[in-house]
Structure 1
């Protein structure tokens, strides 16, 4: 869109034309409408969680509560011990981030800088997996979780299955590879001449130069793990291991509707705060590959 100083899709000269100005404001209005449609459901859930039970079931419903009952938030938090589910989700998230960055980063480094014979074909196979529907691998994956190959371990009620899944992500590997391609080969060759090993180059040269992509993937992984429901629900049967999403689903039968909305607020707020705080890095993730100067 128009950004001034002749940059962006619409420059200053084009914007002065009536037709271009009309198109600009039509697109701007359309974006506002789409944003409102996306924001309204989450905002309505959060606002409704503060209503009393009579207003909650009132017809027609109110968008802005007539009275705010903040105490419902603390009562729900303490009564259903949501701190425990937050801790479980945080533990799952930390492991997923560690596995994602380490193994997908190593894979991107393998395909970008090492490039042994046959790596191009292997990379092509990995990209082909993106085209497969997620439902294709659900049954084989779950059977491997119940009876882990070779070791014959039952990994249910553990976080290992979700960590293993985070360790192999074709899209993340592609992002890492594209970013590592921008790192000058001269730096890699200089490190080899100095006697650094391949892993040493990865940890001492490549990763320090990849802070933008590391931050972006970390944020996206945290958001993805926090909002994940299917696999935690399938794997975590013990209540002591439940994540926030699994706890809200399993407890809904025992919660009144207004308290369910309070619980949903607990699930909505952290990703929203994460985006608001780190939105600059998230937006940067869509333009990775601009190169490294120096």
Structure 2
């Protein structure tokens, strides 16, 4: 027994060391492309084309960022993506929070069918909705508009609304029912319970699913390509593809990677600011299903 009790701490130390090693290795694998992108954005074409893409830049060329922002109209693409992403996430979160709360807390006929309809919609491929959505937006005169993209992303086929509902249902089910009972005794209505109690408590879950859906909307390419053909309405993914195509036979690698670096910054900053809420939301939402 004594020998076993002595070996247990050693085994724990060894297992922790192994886990930490693989976590550090995984962190290096994830961070290396990000760091390489930022370093390449500060290089000139000569350094990249002469077979030195992995070396540190000999001179920091910050003008790559100003060139891509102004000359390549990347600033317009960035603000278009910002408007579409913020509008889509705000609308989808408002719809998802109310729908998930009703499905999680109320019992009514057709509740299960409605829940499975939302879940099933997550399995529909994005490309199946391209043609009908194109003609629908054309009939509504919303094609080539940021408003049309906001509506498509919010309730369309890329699945951010069903995913948010699926995630938030588990989150609302994990909240204690005693809170609602106490509020009802105090004379609070169903609307008051939701807006005053449940919605503030669901903030970690909303932030978590909001950031996950932000990644989907910010990086979406197919819908934005098909539904917009006006250069003034291009989003960041479409703008980067157009930028590379316009360079034709001579790619300006510095400005191109500068555009990629700019497109990554909002997501990285958002995660750095809300990383605690993301972790808390994932943990709380996993308690019940």
Work out whether the TM-score is over 0.5: yes
For 1:15 and 1:251, the matched residues in 2 are separated by 59
1:78-93 to structure 2, matched below 5 A, reads 78-93=70-85
Question: Secondary structure of 1:51's partner?
Answer: coil
Q: 1:62: which partner in 2?
A: 54
Q: 1:275: which partner in 2?
A: 271
For 1:133 and 1:144, the matched residues in 2 are separated by 14
Name stretches of at least 5 consecutive residues in structure 2 with no aligned partner: 1-5
| Aligned 8 A contact 2:78 2:236 in 1 | yes
Q: 1:142: which partner in 2?
A: 131
Name stretches of at least 5 consecutive residues in structure 1 with no aligned partner: 1-12
For 2:87 and 2:26, the matched residues in 1 are separated by 35
Q: How far is the alpha carbon of 1:24 from its aligned partner?
A: 2.4
Q: 1:157: which partner in 2?
A: 144
Q: 2:282: which partner in 1?
A: 286
Q: 1:166: which partner in 2?
A: 154
1:43-54 to structure 2, matched below 5 A, reads 43-54=35-46
Q: 2:262: which partner in 1?
A: 266
1:16 aligns with 2:12: no
Structure 1 140/254 Cα, relative in aligned 2: closer, same or farther at 3 Å?
Answer: closer
Q: Which 4+ residue blocks in structure 1 deviate beyond 6 angstroms?
A: none
For 2:26 and 2:38, the matched residues in 1 are separated by 19
Q: How far is the alpha carbon of 1:193 from its aligned partner?
A: 5.6
Q: How far is the alpha carbon of 1:284 from its aligned partner?
A: 2.1
TM-score relative to the length of structure 2: 0.83
1:125-136 to structure 2, matched below 5 A, reads 125-130=117-122, 132=123, 134-135=125-126
Q: How many residues matched?
A: 274
For 1:116 and 1:175, the matched residues in 2 are separated by 20
| Aligned 8 A contact 1:96 1:221 in 2 | no
1:159-198 to structure 2, matched below 5 A, reads 159=146, 160-167=148-155, 169-192=161-184, 196-198=188-190
The 10-residue stretch of structure 1 (181-190 or 192-201) with the greater mean CA deviation from structure 2:
192-201
TM-score relative to the length of structure 1: 0.81
Q: 2:210: which partner in 1?
A: 218
Structure showing the higher helix proportion among its residues = 2
Q: 1:4: which partner in 2?
A: none
Q: How far is the alpha carbon of 1:223 from its aligned partner?
A: 2.9
RMSD: 2.7
Structure 1 22/252 Cα, relative in aligned 2: closer, same or farther at 3 Å?
Answer: same
